[in-house]
Amino acid sequence: MSSSPVYAERQAAVAGVASRIFGVNITPAQVIGETLERITIGDVHEGELCAAVALPAAPEFGPFVQDPLVIWLENKVGLR
């Protein structure tokens, strides 16, 4: 919505879009900021990805972020 380096300008841009989408007045003060941080490392080869699709996701964080499907999702679907 906004790539301004000024936080207040980004808040104002988000508030304007949100107000139009939801049909109510949303002020810049009501907009919170967040940053996303990559948690996976590396790239995935096609064979690894195909094998990972058939397996359940790991329930623990460490193995989860090393899962080829999780890495692929973060690389291809995650926000940049």
- The per-residue pLDDT for range 1-58, each reduced to its tens digit, is 678 889 999 999 999 999 999 999 999 999 998 878 889 988 899 999 999 999 998 9
Cα-based distances in Å from 10 to 16, 19, 25, 36: 10, 14, 16, 16
* Contact call for residues 41 and 57 (beta carbons, < 8 A): no
pLDDT for the residue numbered 20: 97
* Contact call for residues 21 and 31 (beta carbons, < 8 A): no
pLDDT for the residue numbered 80: 58
pLDDT for the residue numbered 79: 60
Question: CA–CA separation, 8 vs 64, rounded Å?
Answer: 36
What pTM value is reported for the model? 0.59
Stretch 59-69: mean pLDDT, rounded?
94
pLDDT for the residue numbered 1: 67
